[in-house]
Amino acid sequence: MSEFKDKVVAITGAGGGLGKAHALEFAARGAKVVVNDLGGSADGVGAGDMADAVVQEIRDAGGVAIANKASVSDKAGAKSIVDDAVSEFGTLDILVNNAGILRDKTFKKMPLEDWDLLIDVHLNGTAYVTHAAWPVMCEKGYGRIVMTSSTSGIYGNFGQSNYGAAKMGMLGLINVLAIEGKKFDVRVNGLAPAAATRLIATIPGREGLDPDNPDPDVHPRLVTPAVLFMCSENAPTGKVIQAGGGRFSTCAVFNNDGIDLGVDATYESLLAQKDEMLDMSAAQEGWNRTRQSDS
């Protein structure tokens, strides 16, 4: 028996790419899936029936699924994803925030409308759906939430300031909700994926990718095992897992002990010990609260 049998799973942006791969795998393992997708283009324009097609594929394989075509960037639409899960299946156990779009430009050339839209879809959309799911999960004392971040936010990527800012913003949300969710057994983790999808195919230099027939070594299904792990009974919380091409690793924030210049600190005294301040050779994971105060 799969541990996901009869679990209720909502996946945003599941009409194709990574979200579709997650939805198919959860359904194959007996989960009841809410397939959300607005069905628009890769830059967020329009709407369509992508969610219906995935639901039909799941049902044809003997699985259980329903479609939701709301936009995650709309508060009411985001809430409707959770409402549909509860109305149809009685609860929500797992939420995978995956919906996203791209509008790549250098920061110098980027219209602020493109900045706002990416923040709305990626960061606000993730927060809106999670906010709707949070009370359901906390009340039942169980929940698993995955937020799809990106190496573009964690490490940076040329021409993706809006996307990177939104994706890095998710890490702050993950860190806080992992703390707040502990007493309710609601575990919150992040995914930094790498796969051939229609979003990736819009990036300059990668136009030759065929998201409908991706090469086996960059197939979205190779990311899905990390999602299942982060949604499992024994999932960690507050972690960021990088996944792609069958490789999996953990990304974390490290801090060194730094220097303590005391109340007489000056620019000159800082310069005198800047190398020690910047030295990360003995850094450890996490924040050293004994040396730094809350800001």
CATH number at residue 50: 3.40.50.720
Q: Based on the number of CB atoms within 10 Å of its own CB, is 168 exposed (0-12), middle (13-18) or buried (19 or more)?
A: middle
My answer on whether 214 and 270 are in the same domain is no
2 assigned to some structural domain: no
My answer on whether 171 and 279 are in the same domain is no
The pLDDT score that the predictor gives to residue 293 is: 43
My answer on whether 210 and 262 are in the same domain is no
Greater model confidence, 200 or 24: 24
Q: Is the confidence at residue 86, as pLDDT, over 80?
A: yes
Q: Is the confidence at residue 267, as pLDDT, over 70?
A: yes
The pTM (predicted TM-score) of the whole model is 0.90
> Kindly report the CA angle at 192 between 169 and 43, in degrees rounded to 5?
70
My answer on whether 117 and 211 are in the same domain is yes
Provide the phi-psi class of 223: left if phi over 0, else alpha when psi is between -120 and 50, else beta. alpha
My answer on whether 140 and 264 are in the same domain is no
My answer on whether 276 and 136 are in the same domain is no
246 assigned to some structural domain: yes
162 assigned to some structural domain: yes
The count of structural domains within the chain is 2
The pLDDT score that the predictor gives to residue 104 is: 83
39 assigned to some structural domain: yes
Question: Residue 212: pLDDT band by 50, 70, 90 thresholds?
Answer: low
CA–CA separation, 33 and 206 (whole Å): 31
My answer on whether 172 and 240 are in the same domain is yes
My answer on whether 203 and 269 are in the same domain is no
Structure tokens, 276? 């020690």
Question: Residue 217: pLDDT band by 50, 70, 90 thresholds?
Answer: confident
My answer on whether 201 and 267 are in the same domain is no
173 assigned to some structural domain: yes
The backbone torsions φ and ψ at residue 279, rounded to the nearest 5 degrees and listed phi first, read -70, 120
Candidates 128, 142, 155, 163; catalytic one: 163
69 assigned to some structural domain: yes
Confirm whether 142 is a catalytic residue: no
Q: Is the confidence at residue 291, as pLDDT, over 50?
A: no
My answer on whether 130 and 269 are in the same domain is no
The pLDDT score that the predictor gives to residue 200 is: 59
What are the tens digits of pLDDT across the range 40-69?
A: 766 567 777 999 999 999 999 999 999 999
My answer on whether 258 and 238 are in the same domain is no
Greater model confidence, 5 or 289: 5
292 assigned to some structural domain: no
Q: How many CA atoms lie within 13 A of 280 on its CB side?
A: 5
Task: Find the domain containing 277 and state its range.
Answer: 254-285
264 assigned to some structural domain: yes
My answer on whether 276 and 215 are in the same domain is no
Question: Residue 286: pLDDT band by 50, 70, 90 thresholds?
Answer: confident
